[in-house]
Amino acid sequence: MKVLAIDTSNFVMGIALVEDEIVKGEMITNLKKNHSVRVMPAVQSLLAECDVSPKELDLIVVAKGPGSYTGVRIGVTIAKTLAWALNIPLVGVSSLEVLAANAKYFDGLISPLFDARRGQIYTGLYKYHEELLEAVEQDQILLSKDWARKLKEKNEKVLFIGSDYELHKEILTEELRELAVFAPPSLQLPRPSELALLGLKKERENVHSFVPNYIRLAEAEAKWLEQQQK
């Protein structure tokens, strides 16, 4: 089975091609550039390099959020379009779960995180059990200080992973002390190959009804709803 994975949910753009659980190719950039004009050329380039035509693909897997509203929307839209045009299945995977997958050799709790501004983070809690990544706490958005207090009650070591953790490291360390562990730079970016492998184990989505998981409304949408209720 040939799987194409797409992740544009944050600054990182990741594309991967996996065949029968073997990573054939992977492209990752961490740049403040417009994903909308870069994703398809990246897909075409990777497929060409791997001598695979779009018609040979069997599954599309996409990071469905949370993350940047625009970024998540771009990835999901492209993934849905490809799945529909090629008439192949589509799978969505939590963007946080993809990041947590980097920590498969950490014996403890894993807290992937993205900055959500105003002291908030998108995060969840995961743990590996017999080589399978399991969710301990569902993906959510909350203040980093509240998350630190919640984790302190578990009294276990927690690995924080993601390039945004530096923005919240002081608060997390102050509350958790020696229980807080921080991933090295090489593990801070989500890997699209992990996205593809996770997607192989997930249920297929309905291509037409599939939507991103923003966790919260975009600010503009929230303001519009607030005005309608007045």
Mean pLDDT for back-to-back runs of 10 residues, the chain (230 residues) = 97 97 97 93 98 98 96 97 98 98 96 96 96 95 96 97 96 97 96 98 96 74 58
Give the Cα separation of 62 and 34 in Å (integer): 18
pLDDT of residue 96: 98
Helix count (H) and strand count (E) of the chain? 7, 10
Angle at 153 between CA 152 and CA 155, to 5 degrees: 70
CATH architecture of residue range(s) 2-95+190-226:
2-Layer Sandwich (3.30)
Answer whether 2-95+190-226 and 96-187 agree in fold: yes
Q: What's the pLDDT at 216?
A: 76
Is 96-187 assigned to CATH 3.30.420.40? yes
Domains of the chain by residue range? 2-95+190-226, 96-187
State residue 223's pLDDT score. Answer: 54
In the prediction, which pLDDT does 160 show?
98
| Distance of alpha carbon 146 from the chain centroid | 22
